[in-house]
Amino acid sequence: MTLLGCQQKTEPAATAASAAAEPVAVSEIRVGASADAPRPQSPDQPIVVHLKLKGGDRAMNAPTKLEARLIELRSGAAAGFLVKQFSGVVPPETEFSFESAKPWAEGRYAVEIKLDGKLIGQRDIDVIQAGAAP
């Protein structure tokens, strides 16, 4: 009986260890309100970045910082920087909304997603006028 009891305790510990080994990662980065095929971003709208994360459903021992940096690729200048802090569990989905007092300059941007300073995802975003799309 003792052997059977030991086996039951070992299995959950192995499962917990494998769950703890899976780091938080981005499984999807979507820009805009639609889940359809990617469309160019309008210059006069906020740039909304939706993230789906995997591996974040476990409790973190320390506060976790998720950062989103928007970069205008033509100049290399930062166009926006947003931070979210989490204690405990990182949610499976979250979003960042970059807003500008004036319309976004047309061109290509990149959004970089970092978790505690480590790059975990990135995506390019095209900003063009709606009538300018081919």
**Segment 100-123, tens digit of pLDDT:** 999 999 999 999 999 999 999 999
CATH of 23-132 among 2.60.40.1930, 3.10.180.10, 3.40.190.10, 3.40.50.150:
2.60.40.1930
Q: For residues 68 and 113, is the Cβ–Cβ distance under 8 A? A: yes
Which distant-in-sequence residues (6+ apart) come within 8 Å of 105 by Cβ? 43, 72, 74, 127
Compute the mean pLDDT over every residue in the chain, rounded to the nearest whole number: 80
Which pLDDT belongs to residue 47? 94
Q: Phi and psi of 33, rounded to 5°?
A: -85, -15
| pLDDT tens digits, 54-81 | 886 666 677 889 999 999 999 999 999 9
In 3D space, the residue among 35, 108, 29 whose CA is nearest the CA of residue 66 turns out to be 29
pTM for the predicted model, two decimal places: 0.76
In the chain, where the domains are located: 23-132
Worst-scoring range by mean pLDDT, 13-22, 52-61, 91-100, 105-114?
13-22
Which pLDDT belongs to residue 39? 72
How far is the C-alpha of 6 from the C-alpha of 72, rounded, in Å?
57
The proportion of the chain whose per-residue pLDDT surpasses 90, expressed as a percent, equals: 52
Q: For residues 48 and 30, is the Cβ–Cβ distance under 8 A? A: no
